[in-house]
Structure 1
């Protein structure tokens, strides 16, 4: 991995680590569905404004619908799933479960996309999973039906991310027919289009939700804005570029670092304590990253 890609990887981990914190603050005031819709809205508006200012006008033709569908898998469903999980799981836990994405991607790549699996890759992924498991011991949760539901929501999101990483490479990779800027924007638009009906259904089933949204504090709305503009719009620009430059497997290793940043932001901004479990888990994660990202001598 090049130095520029490594810098993007660290920046992306910091942004996605912050996303779980933003959701944890916003969801109790706004609800899961409105938070997910707000994230998609701010992300779409932010990317659209940036492309308009830069004078970029995408011409997609027959790739419009595939990119919209990609947005449903890559953003729409995961946004909703992680917002639902934020109702019952601490921000660090959602990030920890998100770190299983490379393992899921390894299985999906082998079964669906004919990707090869090496022993070194399996060992590195399992080591990374071990690292996030150690991190989980920093604050064990009582297993309840609600907690299991939150875990299941996180798993659905990781499966979506695993599939979308390979689809992104085919639609917006280095030799793909669609420009990366168009892919990022249209995919976010696709996420928003699938989330808006979910919001209408939510408001119909919970009429009091509109009153709760109007009474929500500015802090909640500002966290949704940061979630959409920084942890989504900017983050997906970095993520799509990583997939283009380094491929899905290496790009998805970012999920190993996200829990470290999620814990770090919790310590800095919420005063959550650090423990030896965080140090040990972070060390295992760093070792697994080195195993995945180290240069391989040509055969």
Structure 2
């Protein structure tokens, strides 16, 4: 992997890890519905500006159903669930729950697509489930009932991402930028009718509005561009290694900015989940290094 691509990978992980920090700050003030409407709306407008600049058009008539499905499962529902969870969960825990997406993907793939589970995948599933059990069963003793519900919301959000990923594999072929652009507008229209019924809990200060702007423009708009460029440069397999870095940055930002405590139980549970994801996705550091060497040559 070239140095420029490696920097994009770490930059993307830092941005997506930061999204949980920004939600943790803004969600208690704005509420999950208004926050996500602002997030997806800003992202949609930002991507529209890029589309106009790059002269990329959306074929809404042909692809609107496709955008609706992606907007529902890849954006609106998981964003809302994580924003609701952010009212009670630390950013570090949310980032770890987000990393369970490949675990859900393996489960749904086995059920819906009749994918055979290898021994490695089964071990990975066992490790991932064990990690969640550690986080909820042991760390749960220190969590409020509302926080435990937040854990459930985070897991369901990760499951939605997995559904969207599986759908994308069998859906009609639409370019990546159009998927991002169209799904953001679909999510914006989905959440909009509910926004007036869930007003902000308090008047947002300048820091909350900065968090909203960061979520919409940076964590959604710019992050998508980085991700798509990574896929073009190094392929989908290498690009998805960002999954292993996001919890690291989510924990780092939560600790540095919000002074969140990260205990041994959280570290053990997170490590089990990441190990399970590595087995399920077939991630191999040695193989990745070989790909980097070949690319460099």
Instruction: Indicate the TM-score class for this superposition, using the shorter chain for normalisation.
Output: 0.7 to 0.9
In 2 relative to 1, CA 232–129 (structure 1 residues): closer, same or farther, beyond 3 Å? Answer: farther
Q: How far is the alpha carbon of 1:227 from its aligned partner? A: 0.9
SS in 1 for 2:87: coil
CA distance in 2, matches of 1:7, 1:102: 23
Q: How far is the alpha carbon of 1:22 from its aligned partner? A: 0.2
Equivalent pairs, count: 283
CA contact (8 A) 1:46 1:229 kept: yes
CA contact (8 A) 1:100 1:255 kept: no
Alignment of 1:48-59 (within 5 A): 48-59=48-59
CA distance in 1, matches of 2:143, 2:267: 25
CA distance in 1, matches of 2:61, 2:205: 42
SS in 1 for 2:114: coil
SS in 2 for 1:57: coil
Which residue among 149, 155, 177 is the counterpart of 2:173?
A: 177
CA distance in 2, matches of 1:68, 1:131: 33
Partner of residue 229, structure 1: 217
CA contact (8 A) 1:128 1:289 kept: yes
CA distance in 2, matches of 1:106, 1:29: 36
Partner of residue 191, structure 1: 187
- TM-score using structure 2 length: 0.79
Q: How far is the alpha carbon of 1:80 from its aligned partner? A: 0.7
Tell me the C-alpha RMSD between the 2 structures: 3.4
Alignment of 1:149-160 (within 5 A): 149-160=149-160
- TM-score using structure 1 length: 0.79
Larger mean CA deviation between 105-114 and 274-283 belongs to: 274-283
CA distance in 1, matches of 2:134, 2:241: 17
Partner of residue 81, structure 1: 81
Alignment of 1:1-299 (within 5 A): 9-127=9-127, 142-171=142-171, 177-203=173-199, 209=200, 212=201, 215-239=203-227, 245-246=235-236, 254-272=242-260, 291=279, 292-294=282-284, 295=287
CA contact (8 A) 2:84 2:150 kept: yes
- Could you give the per-residue CA deviations for residues 6-35 of structure 1, whole angstroms, max 9, x where no partner exists? 665543332221111000111122112111
- Could you give the per-residue CA deviations for residues 250-279 of structure 1, whole angstroms, max 9, x where no partner exists? 766644432211111123323445666677
In 2 relative to 1, CA 233–116 (structure 1 residues): closer, same or farther, beyond 3 Å? Answer: farther
CA distance in 2, matches of 1:108, 1:289: 14
CA distance in 2, matches of 1:285, 1:124: 8
In 2 relative to 1, CA 8–108 (structure 1 residues): closer, same or farther, beyond 3 Å? Answer: farther
Q: What are the ranges of 5 or more consecutive residues in structure 2 without an aligned counterpart?
A: 289-297
